[in-house]
Amino acid sequence: MQIGFALFNALAVGMAIFLVAAGITLIFGMLRILNISHGSIFMVGAYIAFTVVGIEPGSISWLLVGGLVAGGVLAVAGLCINFGVFRRLRHVDEAYSLIATFAMLMICNGLVKLVWGVNYHSISAPDALAGAIFLGPVLVPTYSLFIIGMGIATFLALEILIHRSRIGKVVRAIAHDEWMSNLAGINTPLVYALVVMAAFFLAGMAGGMLLPNQSVSPLLFESYLLQSFMVVIIGGLGNIRGAFIASVMLGLVDGVNFLIMPELPGLLIYFLLVTFLLWRPQGLFWQPGADTAGHTEKAPDPTSIPSAMPVRLSPQIACIIALVAVLVASMPIYVNEGFLFIAGFAMVEALLALSWNFLFGYVGLATFGHAAFFGIGAYFVGFLLRDYGVSFPLLLAGATALGVLSAMIVGLVALRRTSGIALGILTLSLGEILRRIINYSKTLGSDDGLSGIPRPTLEFGLFSVDLSSERAYFWFLCVACATVALLLRALTVSRFGRMMVSTRQDPVRAEFLGINVQRVRLTAFAISGAVAALAGALHAPWAQIVTPDTVSYLHSTQPMLNTLLGGSGFFWGPVVGSVAFSTLGYATRTLAGLSEVISGLIVLVVVLGAPGGILGIGKQLGIFRAKRPQAGSPDDAREGAHP
């Protein structure tokens, strides 16, 4: 009886996931774009439907009307987004399309807060769906039945459309070979637009039908975002049958999770995903010839790879560096406390972003879980500093070592089996597992995190440096971040740096030249993890509080956004991006939602219009008189003074 109920519940959960994931699957199957913003699009749909039906929808058909209106509005929005965004993303590097759709996510979330506010709304199911009926001995909520029915109906409709109809043949032909489909006289841009509209319509419908399923709030996007990823990954990217089965599986696993460890919701799903990515990165229903997560290696754009050539420092540049260094170092004197606080965060974020681009820019690996390393460092230092008063330099060294260790463990497994999107999702999942474990750990403060972390005193035997004041720690941050950044820079222009770049440009050829590509990747991964953990370690005493948010995937995306905004093709690009983002955040801090919309718009414009980032624009305008043909011109060093 109990099991029957749980099973039914699991099925309802699975179908709810499928309703949302159907759209993201369609878009991936067709455009090869993993639309990260899909969860937010769904949320917008839910809000639109909520606006139509109100708190108490009178009947099932009213709920459906809400879904249809939301679907219609979103379909139109999808048409615009297809022309404005997706059309430009189809032929760019995967990492850029991920970041562009992430920017869309920010815009959607910001818009929701601006238009509908940040309050929670609970929508009750219409009377016809509010009760429960007996199916044999099992008591089943009618709303669950409704969701299951809708899920199956949606699946059947898509299945027939894609696998049994003429339109489906055309759609799959385009997915296989867009170029040849064009030659066959098929209006592929139109079909793309229609598929995107259909996907957005489905998201809107799901928003309407799932209204009574959960409360409507600006956090709604999160509850389905990662699940729909998993469906797409486990099912085999872009495969609607796989997506359906994967949804059911996720529902069941979630049910089991609830039975055996209710205190750690959602954890088992991530383990399932990680296992899957390592076991079958191509998904359940891989078709030969189809692009999948396991092997989508597009040729990288060589112009976006940062230079691994040492640059000489001209006297003018040295002067500029000195000037900026003085400007930053003297900040405690001329800016207010709030701004100084932001500046300190910007330095730490810049270091984190540098460590991320060390992997992305030089080795070509995009991780989506970098905040996990950051969080490891931050929690390690925060915990031991507050509760045990361990010496700070020792803690920094320990955090770095911990970063190396964890990166080695993750890298050893992950780099062997995955690349591209699969690696991204794998690292994202590992980060989320860590976050959930921290959330659960009472020792680490659960949801509230570790607060009241003291700022340390550096003991040097004969004398000691007290860092407890804001100014003192700020100066310490300046020195520490600059030192680490310069060390990292030195590494990129060393022999190892050139090896990294060669593995990114052409791993096969690098292998032929006697470079152990796996080892180079792993080493870079370890270094990157170490620097990220160190950034976290420096962050803890500055913020004086560490929360699970520091580990979340949203924080993981920050270094990416910073890097792309500044320019991934430049060593100092991430630093420029961090400064720009922090300034932006500071300038728009007063209005909830607005900062997200503006940041999202800026990232979107940069990714679509100037993939080289701010420094790339500068280079094009000839502001940097590059002495070498590649990126990383001497003038880039200008930004180096304020890491």
Partner 1 sequence: MLEVRSLDAFYGDSHVLHGISLRVAKGARISVLGRNGAGKSTLLKSVMNAGPRARGEVLLDGSDLGTLPSFRRARLGLALVPEDRRIFPHISVMDNIRLVEAAAGPQGLVDPETILAAFPILKPLVGRYGSQLSGGQQQMVAVARGMAARPKVLLLDEPTEGLAPVIVDQMAVSLTALCDALGTGLLLSEQNIRFARRCTSAVYVIESGRLVYQGSWEDFDARPDIKQRHLSV
583 binds partner 1 (CB under 8 A): no
92 binds partner 1 (CB under 8 A): no
Query: How far is residue 289's CA from residue 270's CA, in Å, rounded to a whole number?
Result: 28
**Which CB sits closer to partner 1, 169 or 471?**
169
CB atoms under 10 Å from CB of 519, counted, come to: 12
187 binds partner 1 (CB under 8 A): yes
**Which CB sits closer to partner 1, 172 or 498?**
172
Residue written as token pair 């920094």: 396
Interface with partner 1 (CB under 8 A), residue total 20
Nearest distance in Å: CB 183, partner 1: 5
**Which CB sits closer to partner 1, 237 or 535?**
237
**Which CB sits closer to partner 1, 15 or 243?**
243
338 binds partner 1 (CB under 8 A): no
Nearest distance in Å: CB 185, partner 1: 3
Residues 151 to 170: which contact partner 1 by CB under 8 A?
A: 169-170
Task: Tell me which stretch binds partner 1 (CB under 8 A): 27-35, 187-195, 295-303, 363-371.
Answer: 187-195
Query: How far is residue 233's CA from residue 227's CA, in Å, rounded to a whole number?
Result: 10
Nearest distance in Å: CB 94, partner 1: 21
186 binds partner 1 (CB under 8 A): yes
Mark residue 364 as left, alpha or beta (left: phi above 0; alpha: psi -120 to 50; beta: remaining): left
629 binds partner 1 (CB under 8 A): no
Query: How far is residue 150's CA from residue 208's CA, in Å, rounded to a whole number?
Result: 12
Question: Helix (H, G, I), strand (E, B), or coil: what is residue 123?
Answer: coil
Tell me, residue by residue from 21 to 50, as one string, x for binding to partner 1 by CB under 8 A and - for no binding. Answer: ------------------------------
Query: How far is residue 48's CA from residue 44's CA, in Å, rounded to a whole number?
Result: 6
Query: How far is residue 588's CA from residue 596's CA, in Å, rounded to a whole number?
Result: 9
**Which CB sits closer to partner 1, 176 or 298?**
176
| Burial readout 533-561 (b: 16 or more C-beta within 10 A, e: otherwise) | bbbbbbbbbbbebbbbebbbbebbbbbbb
Query: In the set 121, 172, 417, 436, which binds partner 1 (CB under 8 A)?
Result: 172
Nearest distance in Å: CB 32, partner 1: 16
56 close to 62: Cβ distance less than 8 angstroms = no
Query: How far is residue 535's CA from residue 484's CA, in Å, rounded to a whole number?
Result: 9
188 binds partner 1 (CB under 8 A): yes
Residue written as token pair 């359940």: 284
181 binds partner 1 (CB under 8 A): yes
Query: In the set 131, 189, 302, 393, which binds partner 1 (CB under 8 A)?
Result: 189
Nearest distance in Å: CB 290, partner 1: 9
CB atoms under 10 Å from CB of 243, counted, come to: 32
Tell me, residue by residue from 272 to 291, as one string, x for binding to partner 1 by CB under 8 A and - for no binding. Answer: ---------------xxx--
Q: Which residues contact 166 (CB under 8 A, 6 or more apart)?
A: none
Question: Helix (H, G, I), strand (E, B), or coil: what is residue 636?
Answer: helix
**Which CB sits closer to partner 1, 185 or 514?**
185
173 binds partner 1 (CB under 8 A): yes
List, as one string, the DSSP characters of 78-108.
Answer: HHHHIIIIIHHHTTS-HHHHHHHHHHHHHHH
H-only helix segments in 420-516: 420-440, 470-492, 495-505, 507-512
Question: Which residues make up the interface to partner 1 (CB under 8 A)?
Answer: 169-170, 172-173, 176-177, 179-189, 287-289
